[in-house]
Amino acid sequence: MEIRELCHEKVLSLLPDRDPWGHKGNFGKLLLLCGSRGFTGAAYLAAMGALRSGAGLTFLGVPESIYAIEAVKLNEPVVFPLPDTDGKLSIMAIAEIEKRLPQMDAVLVGCGLGQSSGTLAVVKFVLENASCPVVVDADGINVLSGHKDILRRRTAPTILTPHDGEFIRFGGTIGEDRMASAAYFAREWNSILLLKGRRTCITDGFGAYRNLTGNPGMAVGGSGDVLAGIIVSLLGQGIAPLEAAACAAWLHGAAGDLCAQEIGQYGMLPTDMLQRLPRLLK
């Protein structure tokens, strides 16, 4: 299996041209299901990661108990409330999600959702019913650990974005060759795997990319939510799933590298990465 690496020029070449006659509906309609009580930042960062990387329309569904917070924090996404229990999505949220799902070009589920029976019901529903690519991050991965067979039944692409701990809890094993471990898992579970960490591995089991951007200053809460937002944005804009995940990893790391150069690794935040994404996409 050939392992490829990306550079800035290659990433820009993979991005679709912006149609001069286009409108917001042409650049990706995204559904993000994120956030819970105590984790309002995850929803914000994922939504802004999507918008800062070119998404046309971003619909952000959040638990009703944090809706007012997100509506005040966010101007550009369409934020809407969903039924919740104890600050996490409930099974009753599925009815509203079902109405929106058919119009979407890509879906992100998991950032900051928390683990509950409602979270599991929502994640399962999305994976079983979405005909578009789905990105599963964070708690979306955690609640699926006992229900992995859903992935094998999917006909549309699924991208999983675990760090090592989430990967192991999900049933993955990491050998001396991280890429080989990731590729085996991706083939076994019919998915594209973005295994986070130094030299992030991105593979569908047959093709692979290794990302060389990024630095330790990015090891801060919320950084992964920005990455998840970039991935779903590129998917919604029509980039092939493996390349969308690889380009997102490169852009995310490169934004972190710009932060490290300009303000240093110690004080950089995910919001600083968001501000630098447009410069990389110019």
Long-range (24+ apart) CB contacts under 8 A made by 146-152 are 147/120, 148/189, 150/124, 151/127, 151/189, 151/190, 151/191, 152/189, 152/190
* Whether 223 contacts 229, CB under 8 Å: no
Give yes or no for residue 3 having a pLDDT over 90: yes
Give yes or no for residue 204 having a pLDDT over 90: yes
Q: What digits encode the pLDDT tens for the residues 170-192?
A: 999 999 999 999 999 999 999 99
Q: How confident is the model at residue 28 (pLDDT cuts 50, 70, 90)?
A: very high
Q: Over range 45-65, report the average pLDDT.
A: 98
Q: Over range 106-130, report the average pLDDT.
A: 98
Q: What digits encode the pLDDT tens for the residues 231-267?
A: 999 999 999 999 999 999 999 999 999 999 999 999 9
Instruction: Specify the pLDDT at position 190.
Output: 98
What percentage of the chain carries pLDDT values higher than 90? Answer: 96
Beta strands 88-89 and 84-85: pairing type?
A: antiparallel
Position 112, amino acid: G
Instruction: Specify the pLDDT at position 107.
Output: 98
Structure tokens at 154: 């999917």
Q: What digits encode the pLDDT tens for the residues 119-171?
A: 999 999 999 999 999 999 999 999 999 999 999 999 999 999 999 999 999 99
Give yes or no for residue 115 having a pLDDT over 90: yes
Say what angle helices 40-52 and 64-73 make with each other, to 10 degrees. Answer: 50
Give yes or no for residue 24 having a pLDDT over 90: no
What percentage of the chain carries pLDDT values higher than 70? Answer: 100
Say what angle helices 270-281 and 40-52 make with each other, to 10 degrees. Answer: 10
Instruction: Specify the pLDDT at position 22.
Output: 87
When the pLDDT of each residue in the chain is averaged and rounded to a whole number, the result is 97
Torsion over CA: 25, 27, 29, 32 (sign): negative
* Whether 44 contacts 77, CB under 8 Å: no
Instruction: Assign domain 3-11+24-276 one CATH number from 1.10.10.10, 2.60.15.10, 3.40.1190.20, 3.40.250.10.
Output: 3.40.1190.20
Instruction: Specify the pLDDT at position 236.
Output: 98
Among the listed residues 105, 205, 186, 104, the one whose alpha carbon sits nearest the alpha carbon of residue 148: 186
* Whether 92 contacts 119, CB under 8 Å: no
Say what angle helices 40-52 and 223-236 make with each other, to 10 degrees. Answer: 40
Give yes or no for residue 19 having a pLDDT over 90: no
Angle (CA) 154-30-63 rounded to 5° is 90
Alpha-carbon distance of 142 to 150, in angstroms, equals 14
* Whether 141 contacts 158, CB under 8 Å: no
Alpha-carbon distance of 69 to 228, in angstroms, equals 21
Alpha-carbon distance of 86 to 142, in angstroms, equals 19
